[in-house]
Chain A
Amino acid sequence: DVKVTQSSRYLVKRTGEKVFLECVQDMDHENMFWYRQDPGLGLRLIYFSYDVKMKEKGDIPEGYSVSREKKERFSLILESASTNQTSMYLCASSFDRYEQYFGPGTRLTVT
């Protein structure tokens, strides 16, 4: 079974802190994605990556950056966390365009 793991299920950070959210997949997938999920807004794509060291902006990249140094790992970075970045963050990976595999999510609270 494909497994996508995220470093934390719950995270509490203070405003202005630098935050790293880690995602690891074990199926050698080329493609990886970061979404955030907010009530009433559904899932929105932040960034995605087709290969190591490659990244593409999604619909809401402002305030975020990403890093993909190894194929299995895709990190989401909040350079200076703000309260409006309190959200559920979901990572996904895929081999093709038909099926994305999601991790369990990290609920981030910024106080």
Chain B
Amino acid sequence: DAKTTQPNSMESNEEEPVHLPCNHSTISGTDYIHWYRQLPSQGPEYVIHGLTSNVNNRMASLAIAEDRKSSTLILHRATLRDAAVYYCILRIYNTDKLIFGTGTRLQVFP
């Protein structure tokens, strides 16, 4: 199964942008890139997904490198409620299977 590599932790100040990196050098041409986050004492929640093009939604933006070997989740203005573990996940085309790694723990300071 294709794997992702993320930093263990990152820090940000409130109202600043946050760029969370993810490397996936073994991605295949049809693997989708998903991001989930897990707030303390909760189950993971979906953030965003993409295949080749950059994507935006109300929660975040996803920037995908041209060679697709890396991607970046962008939180445009971090809030205290964004403190969570962020998972970058590859999903094999035509399956529902998500392979979670250990994620990046984001701390947000006031």
Q: Which residues of A contact B (CB under 8 A)?
A: 4, 31, 33, 35, 40-45, 48, 50, 58, 90, 92, 94, 97-105
Contact = CB atoms under 8 A, between A and B. Distances in A.
A103 B43 contact: yes
A58 B41 CA distance: 24
B103 A42 contact: yes
A97 B95 contact: yes
A90 B98 CA distance: 13
B49 A98 contact: yes
Contacts of B44: 43, 90, 92, 100, 102
B96 interface: yes
Contacts of B95: 97
B46 A100 contact: yes
Contacts of B26: none
Contacts of B32: 97-98
A32 to B, nearest CB: 10
Contacts, number: 55
Interface string B81-105: 0000001000100111110111100
Contact of A43 (B45, B94, B100): B100
15 contacts: A35-B100, A40-B102, A42-B87, A42-B102, A43-B44, A43-B98, A45-B97, A48-B96, A48-B97, A97-B95, A97-B96, A98-B46, A100-B36, A100-B44, A102-B42
Nearest to A9: B41
A6 to B, nearest CB: 9
Contacts of A97: 32, 91, 94-96
